[in-house]
Chains A and B, each alone.
Chain A
Amino acid sequence: MIENAPLPFTDDPLDRDFWINARQRRLVVQSCAACGEMRFPPRPMCPHCQSENVAWQPVSGEAAVWSFAVPAPPLLPAFEALAPYVTIIGALAENSGIRMAGLAVNADGDATGITAADIAIGQPIHIDFLDASEDCTLPCWRIGPRASAA
């Protein structure tokens, strides 16, 4: 849990399915049911074919670091308590044009204590999930590839 952090509204029809899946520890990406193009962040209409028909496509959660920032205090109290922390923009293995921001977490699932020295652009990462509140689970990025046998 991250106490008093700003959290996403998870009951918007536009992206409710993303958050429902995240609570079940699954990463899905909005895609067009007509032409198949993935898009992120979600929006009501496909920018390629203008269809409003949507599918939520499961993805592996394998990704690479596209970039990252290391915010330093003064920060909101919730994040001040977390510092040092890193926010990663990860590019999905299935579609490197789909890039998502997430807190970096270590092998124990902790977001705190991570520094710039632990991360490099291009490095493999994979999706993990952080229970932020009763109704919100935030996808986050675990450093390194998923252990294949695990």
Chain B
Amino acid sequence: MLKDRTAIVGIGETPFSKHLEASEFQLACRAIKAALDDAGIPPSEVDALSCYTYEETPEFEIARSLGMGDVHYLSQSPHGGGAGCGAVGHLALAIAAGIANVGVVWRSRKRGARSKRLWAGVQSTVTDHWKWSRPQGLLRPVDEVAVLTRRYMHEYGLTRAQLAEVALSMRAYAQGNPRALMGGRALSLDEYLGARMISDPLCLYDNCLESDGAIALVLVRADRAADGPQPPVHIHAFSQGMKAQHQLMTDYHSADPLRSSSWSCAANLWRQSDIGPGDIDVAQLYDAFAPLVLFSLEAYGFCERGEAGDLAARGELRPGGSLPVNTSGGSLSEVYLHGMNLMTEAVKQLRGSAHTQIAGAKTCLVTSCDTTPNGALILRN
């Protein structure tokens, strides 16, 4: 069993910026060292490493730079924004099973430079499933999500003013977070509605930031976590999700394309959990694009299908709402690191040390990308 057997006991973050001088390798080392210091554990004790398949800092370089000893578990989780919860979940499983004792998960990424953006590397000859969409003009992830968003608007009547609340509420949270890239830059509904389109119906503010930084977490078994310097944050439940007939990002071909892999993940997550959607105090929902937050609210059972726009428009995602979401500013307004900042914010909320602290938060849902094979975690303190 996985339930509550492991805990996150350390978090580490570099500064976040549009441009950092340090390399991804340097940033990764600094974030991991900071997370281990936070946990009060020396690098020599780390014996499990988990990261994203997209991570470009190899685990052997990480281990020999930080001075780790013998490592007994190595794992990678697939598909960019879909990977974060899987990377943490795999580590928790290995530690709960007794394969390893101290696990580190990290993500280091420099994406502020234009040349680093994913779509800048679109090949001249497309050999994989992207051949059915990129030559036809859907070049970037935002174009792929725009297709699903327009269909959602058609089926459920979502308006741009409702969708705007995702970006507006997260920008408001960023005003309380001195580390957020969009701190000090308030956003109004008029500014949102007047912003340039990136891929109609998605505008500038529906897109995540392009930024540099690194984040790491440290996991141990729950018995050891109880003795650490930080309040432990327990991993209560974990699942990954990939629905029948799923296609990465361009999931247009299944029977019900608006019923994403998140629905598969959610059903199996709640099945394992003593905590239900109504018991979740705060949520960190993957938000590379604003509509993914709405899609995830429905998939994880916080409202019925088609109702997430109303839920957001009522202010329920804000402080004091029924479900505060992405309380650090998230990927839209704090930093974009493939969702790892959602994980550290979840830990801060459950330690009681977040910048915009949700009073008495005991439970947090963290999700990965709605439009890829994905994962989710239920955390509790």
* Residues in A lying within 8 Å of B, measured CB to CB: 4-9, 12, 40-41, 47, 66-72, 75-76, 79, 82, 85-87, 89, 97-103, 116, 121, 132, 136, 138, 140
User: What's the Cα separation between A67 and B253 when bound, in Å?
Assistant: 12
A-side contacts of B150, CB under 8 Å: 67-69, 121
Q: Which of A7, A100, A116 is the one whose CB lies under 8 Å from B135? A: A7
Which residues of B are found within 8 Å of A100, using beta-carbon distances? 132
> How far is the CB of B354 from the nearest CB of chain A, in Å?
35
**Contact, CB under 8 Å: A72 / B129:** no
- Complex interface: chain A residues within 8 A of B132 (CB): 8, 40-41, 100-101
Residues of B within 8 A of A8 (CB): 125-126, 131-132, 135
Q: Which residue of the partner chain A has the closest CB to B114?
A: A74
Pairwise interchain contact B253-A103, C-beta atoms closer than 8 A: no
Decide: B135 and A75 in contact? CB cutoff 8 A. Answer: no
Are A138 and B136 in contact, CB atoms less than 8 angstroms apart?
Answer: yes
| CB–CB B253/A6 < 8 A | no
Q: Is there contact, CB below 8 Å, between B140 and A132?
A: no
Q: Do the beta carbons of B154 and A41 come within 8 Å of each other?
A: no
Distance in angstroms between the alpha carbons of A31 and B241 in the assembled complex:
28
- Cβ of B151: which chain A residues have Cβ within 8 Å of it? 66-67, 121
Contact A71 B143 (CB under 8 A): yes
Q: Which residues of B contact A116 (CB under 8 A)?
A: 200
Residue pair A87, B196 in contact (C-beta under 8 Å):
no
Q: Cβ of A76 and Cβ of B139 under 8 Å apart?
A: yes
Which of B123, B198, B200 has the most C-beta atoms of chain A within 10 angstroms of its own C-beta? Answer: B200
**B138 contacts chain A at the CB level, 8 A cutoff:** yes
Please pick, from B126, B131, B154, B198, the residue contacting A72 in the complex, using a CB distance under 8 A.
B198
> Nearest chain B CB to A45's CB is how many angstroms away?
13
CA gap between A64 and B255 in the complex, in Å:
16
With beta carbons under 8 angstroms apart, the residue of B127, B199, B252 that contacts A71 is B199
B115 at the interface (CB under 8 A from A): no
Q: Flag if A66 contacts B135 (CB, 8 Å).
A: no
A-facing residues in B128-157 (Cβ within 8 Å): 129, 131-140, 142-144, 146-148, 150-151, 154
Shortest beta-carbon distance from A7 to chain B in Å = 5
Residue count of chain B within 8 Å CB distance of chain A:
38
Once the chains are docked, how many angstroms separate the CA of A81 from the CA of B241? 39
Question: For A89, what are the chain B residues with a Cβ–Cβ distance below 8 Å?
Answer: 147, 252
CB of B245 to closest CB in A, whole Å: 7
The answer to whether B147 and A69 touch across the interface, beta carbons within 8 angstroms, is yes
Q: State the CA gap A47–B131 with chains docked (Å).
A: 21
A66-B252, A71-B143, A79-B139 are contacts. A6–B154 as well, Cβ < 8 Å? no
With A70-B199, A71-B139, A87-B136 in contact, is A99–B253 under 8 Å at CB? yes
| 26 cross-chain CB contacts under 8 A | A4-B124, A6-B122, A6-B125, A7-B135, A8-B131, A9-B126, A66-B252, A67-B151, A69-B143, A69-B146, A69-B147, A69-B150, A69-B200, A70-B197, A71-B139, A71-B142, A72-B197, A72-B199, A79-B137, A87-B136, A101-B132, A102-B136, A121-B150, A121-B151, A132-B135, A136-B135
List the B side residues contacting A87 at CB < 8 Å. 133, 136-138, 143, 147
User: Which residues of chain B from 252 to 295 have a CB within 8 Å of any chain A CB?
Assistant: 252-253, 255
B interface residues, Cβ below 8 angstroms from A? 119, 122-127, 129, 131-140, 142-144, 146-148, 150-151, 154, 196-200, 245, 247, 250, 252-253, 255
Residues of the A chain whose Cβ atoms lie less than 8 Å from the Cβ of B147: 67-69, 87, 89
CB of B127 within 8 A of CB of A12, answer yes
The complex places the Cα of A112 from the Cα of B126 at a distance, in Å, of: 22
Task: Say whether A71 contacts B131, CB under 8 Å.
Answer: no
Q: A8-B126, A9-B127, A70-B200 are in contact. List 4 more A-B contacts (CB 8 A).
A: A66-B252, A67-B147, A98-B253, A100-B132
Do B124 and A97 touch across chains, with their CB atoms under 8 A apart? no
Please, which residues of chain B bring their CB within 8 A of the CB of A69? 137-138, 143-144, 146-147, 150, 199-200
- Contacting residues, chain B, for A82 (C-beta < 8 A): 137
- In the complex, chain A residues whose CB is within 8 Å of the CB of B124: 4, 6-7
* B125 adjacent to A99 (CB under 8 Å): no
- Taking a contact as CB atoms under 8 Å apart, the answer to whether A103 and B139 are in contact is no
| Residue among A75, A89, A97, A98 facing the most chain B CB atoms (10 A cut-off) | A89
A70 vs B154: C-alpha distance when bound (angstroms): 15
Q: Are B135 and A6 in contact, with the CB atoms below 8 A?
A: yes
Cα A133 to Cα B154 in complex, Å, equals 35
Q: How far is the CA of A70 from the CA of B131 in the complex (A)?
A: 19
> From residue A25, how far is it (CB to closest CB) to chain B in Å?
17
- Write the nearest CB–CB distance from A65 to chain B, whole angstroms: 10
User: CA separation between A132 and B247, bound complex, in Å?
Assistant: 25
- A95 CB, min distance to chain B CBs, angstroms: 11
CB distance B137 to A85 under 8 Å? yes
Known A-B contacts A67-B154, A70-B197; A101 and B139 likewise in contact (beta carbons under 8 Å): no
